[in-house]
Amino acid sequence: MKSIVSAQKAISMIKDGASVMIGGFLECGAPDMLIDELVKQNKKNLTMISNDTTYPDADKGRLIVNKQIKKLITSHIGTNPETGKQMHAGELDVELVPMGTLIEKIRAKGTGLGGVLTPTGVGTVLEENKETMNIDGKKFIFEKPLGADFALIYGTKVDKYGNVSFYGTTRNLNTVMATAADTVIVQADELVECLDPNEVVIPGLFVDYIVVKENN
């Protein structure tokens, strides 16, 4: 049985300066309540790892607007003008990584591999300052694993054993992030007693804390 806690308590574990992975593709499948609490508790100097920075008034985007992020590792910032503005002003350190590479870096950490050898970005500026490897005449970029202190993820249904299932396109990066952080907090749309074992997408062993949306 996993600890079921309030958003307030879950987020209070995060210290200023921590690295935090946050799930969601734009607003879809983002743990909005956990992010709101992160804004409320005003944690500072965070490293945020996320697919994107959504919009200025939405979940992850608010962390940018509220200047809580010191370093951002992401694949796309075009939907939130504030991110580009802070980056160009030198206030925010942004590392742009192709989406597929970002996912594999996180997966490499979660699955215990030494890194990723990807063809993505070969022949582009991304190759600069990276190690490359020639394999059977084709060039690949080496990328290191990427983990974090915390992962804040979303689940449509979560059971008391920490098993998570999803509806629709809400899975996105939530699944891989669950494997790559020291502490994983899942925001559940719905808490159930026990999921059908065939339905589970994230096995319970990856989840440390459950925050239930309706309880907050």
- Write out the residues near other proteins by the rule CB under 8 A: 1, 25-29, 51-52, 74-79, 84, 87-88, 94, 96, 98-101, 103-104, 107, 109-113, 118-126, 156, 159-161, 163, 166-176, 179, 194-195, 197-198, 200-201, 203-206
Q: Is 104 left (phi over 0), alpha (psi -120 to 50) or beta?
A: alpha
Q: Pick from 1, 89, 90, 112 the residue near its own copies by CB under 8 A.
A: 112
Helix (H) or strand (E) holding 149, with range, is strand 148-159
Q: Judged by CB under 8 A, does residue 192 bind its own copies?
A: no
Of 25 and 43, the one with the shorter C-beta distance to other proteins is 25
Q: List the single partner that 200 binds among other proteins, its own copies, none, CB under 5 to 8 Å by kind.
A: other proteins
Q: Largest alpha-carbon pair distance within the chain? A: 56
How far apart CA 120 and CA 187 sit, in angstroms, is 32
Interface size with its own copies, residues (CB under 8 A): 23
161 near its own copies, rule: CB under 8 A: no
The answer to whether 137 contacts its own copies (rule: CB under 8 A) is no
Residue 87 interacting partner from other proteins, its own copies, none (CB closer than 5 to 8 Å by kind): other proteins
Which residues, 6+ apart, have CB-to-CB distance to 54 below 8 Å?
24, 26, 27, 30, 60, 61, 79, 80
3-state DSSP assignment of residue 148 = strand
Structure tokens at 175: 């699944």
Helix (H) or strand (E) holding 81: helix 81-88
Q: Which of 32, 59, 104, 159 binds its own copies (CB under 8 A)?
A: 104
Does residue 163 interact with its own copies by CB under 8 A?
A: no
123 binds its own copies (CB under 8 A): no
Q: Which stretch, 55-63, 70-78, 89-97, 114-122, contacts its own copies (CB under 8 A)?
A: 114-122
Residue 131 CB neighbour total at 10 angstroms: 12
Can residue 167 be called a binding residue for its own copies (CB under 8 A)? yes
Distance between CA atoms of residues 187 and 86, nearest Å: 29
Nearest Cα residue to 157 out of 189, 114, 115, 194? 189
CB 45 within 8 A of CB 70: yes
Residues that bind its own copies (CB under 8 A): 104, 108, 111-119, 133, 135-136, 138, 140, 144, 165-168, 198-199
